[in-house]
Amino acid sequence: MAVNINPIALVSTVMRIVDAKDHHFASLIKEPLIPSCNSFTFISSFLRMMAVVRQWYVHSLMITEVRTEPLFISISLQSLTKAGVIMVGIGVIGYGYWGPNLVRNFAQVTGARVVAVCDQRAERRALVEQVYPSVNTYADVSEMLRNPKVDAVAVATPVSSHFELALMALQAGKHVLVEKPFTATVAQAERLVEEAERRQLTLMVDHTFIYTSAVRKIKELVDNGTLGTLYYYDSVRVNLGLFQNDVNVLWDLAVHDLSIMDYLVQSSPTVVAATGMAHVPGKPENMAYLTCYFPDNLIAHFHVNWMAPVKIRQTLIGGSEKMIVYDDIEMSEKVKVYDKGIIVSESEDAVYQRHVGYRTGDMWAPRLDNVEALRIEAEHFVDCVRTGRRPLSDGYAGLRVIRILEAATQSMVNRGQPVTLSW
């Protein structure tokens, strides 16, 4: 089995182990084992260190009569991976719009190494070879999946191909990250989740927005009760273009907001209703309105449009205690928390004419970090591959979003007729 080795991390790990055994011995080997950029020099140095370690270990057994397992048997594959010695080999399928962003971010993740990129277009493969000379390029997905150095695959292709490519990767024993939307149908999403579970592989969906500092902060405020009971989630995501050929505007734009809502609310709607319209012949619906009904009077509404004169990315979240305005286009204060709301009289005398009062307090904008969301997501994916942890945007999260989108499309075809969801 081919293994991606990080030489600096390997030496560091060995020296930490040796330090714990014999500080004097460690001081003897540290200086001559600083690996150079020349791989042959590093291998020679490492083999020399192994010989010295073996000699030291045998010597220590002779003197102390310690009867234990050899020093390096205790270094498991998992511990070397966690230490960053064994690097996770990443292969990216699709180098069009989103693929270059995935390659760039995975190339910067500690403990990961982009080893392969697959794209059918020769000019895109040439671009990869120019920017990343050490990365192998492929025109055929099957050939890339046969590369033993590829441990995990990121799929960044049109949604119509997501299922086939992700299933091929899972069946080849690779961990998989799939660009949004997860799949084209609920049945496809269920099949991928089942395959990943059966093979005990990491399956993650590229719901990038839940890894932004803004959404993570909102999640913190929702979870700690700052907002109180949630009343509504109201989102607008409109701009001029880009018209898609394979999906309507709900699948292209609303998928972002549905993934954010799914992450924040931690509850699923029971009924959805959607209306929309296609204004360009031969193209799917370019504007749509989607409403999701939840238990306990929570309601969510989404407005998406490819034919708007301005770009708007704004979400309002209302609670019984606080309200939030999340504006993704705002540069300095993306999240604003308002101490505003209503006070309803509960006195018996006012049953038939309840008095509604209004509470107006301060507004504050929490501090947010500037780390790129895709970088955080890439690190999270690699960590999940290493440790076996369940991703925040796992296959089940992707399935929940696809279930809503499929029902919304059905409702839109029937001019807004509500569709009941079964979970």
Per-residue pLDDT tens over the stretch 129-171: 999 999 999 999 999 999 999 999 999 999 999 999 999 999 9
Predicted local distance difference test score (pLDDT) of residue 255: 98
Structure token pair of residue 59: 């010597």
Residues with Cβ < 8 Å from 10, sequence gap 6 or more? 46, 80, 85
Predicted local distance difference test score (pLDDT) of residue 37: 38
Predicted local distance difference test score (pLDDT) of residue 54: 55
CB 183 within 8 A of CB 192: yes
Mean pLDDT, rounded, of the chain: 86
Which residue would you say has higher pLDDT here, 215 or 46?
215
Predicted local distance difference test score (pLDDT) of residue 38: 40
The pLDDT tens digits for 62-92 are 444 434 444 443 444 455 555 555 789 999 9
Lowest-confidence region among 21-30, 172-181, 260-269, 336-345: 21-30
Predicted local distance difference test score (pLDDT) of residue 71: 41
The pLDDT tens digits for 218-268 are 999 999 999 999 999 999 999 998 999 889 999 999 999 999 999 999 899
The pLDDT tens digits for 269-302 are 999 999 999 999 989 999 999 999 999 899 999 9
Over 60: is that where the pLDDT of 29 sits? no
Over 90: is that where the pLDDT of 391 sits? yes
CB 154 within 8 A of CB 102: yes
Q: For the residues 188-207, what does the mean pLDDT come to?
A: 98
Q: What percent of the chain has pLDDT over 70?
A: 78
Over 90: is that where the pLDDT of 344 sits? no
User: In the structure, what pLDDT confidence band is assigned to residue 52 with cuts at 50, 70 and 90?
Assistant: low
Look at the pTM and tell me if it is higher than 0.85: no
Over 70: is that where the pLDDT of 314 sits? yes
Which residue would you say has higher pLDDT here, 215 or 56?
215
* Cβ count within 10 A of residue 57: 19
Domains belonging to the chain, first-starting first, are 4-75 (no CATH), 86-206 (3.40.50.720), 210-369+398-420 (3.30.360.10)
Residues with Cβ < 8 Å from 31, sequence gap 6 or more? none
Predicted local distance difference test score (pLDDT) of residue 311: 97
Structure token pair of residue 121: 């277009």
Over 70: is that where the pLDDT of 33 sits? no
Residue 42: enclosing H or E segment and its boundaries?
helix 39-64
Phi, psi at residue 359, to the nearest 5°? -105, 125
Residues with Cβ < 8 Å from 255, sequence gap 6 or more? 180, 181, 401, 405
Q: How many C-alpha atoms does 2 have within 13 Å on its Cβ side?
A: 10
**β-pairing verdict for 230-240 and 152-155:** unpaired
